[in-house]
Amino acid sequence: MDADQEKIDLAVLGLLWLSVHDERRAWKSFDWAVLDRLHQHGLIENPVGKAKSVVLTDQGLKRAEAAFREMFTRV
């Protein structure tokens, strides 16, 4: 199966929005490869470390909310 990594990344970003706390932190309970790609795109800060959450960048917060609304809300 050839998975669309861009769609997966967007879905994970939207789900990160669902768990945002302390203004921009979200639980990092997702696949490490996806988190690494989100970091490479400047949407989250480096996910490597002991913290159980990641920090979303300003751009990441905006894109995460937009992805959540697009994918997971009713019209």
Three-state SS for the chain is CCCCHHHHHHHHHHHHHHCCECCCEEECCCCHHHHHHHHHCCCECCCCCCCCEEEECHHHHHHHHHHHHHHHCCC
Range of the domain at 33: 5-72
Q: What is the pLDDT of residue 64?
A: 97
Parts of the chain with a pLDDT under 50 = none
Give the CATH number, domain containing residue 55.
1.10.10
Residue 64: CB atoms within 10 A of its CB come to 26
pTM of the model: 0.90
pLDDT of residue 9: 96
Q: How confident is the model over 52-72, as pLDDT tens digits?
A: 999 999 999 999 999 999 999
Number of domains in the chain: 1
Residue 47 near residue 35 (C-beta atoms within 8 A): yes
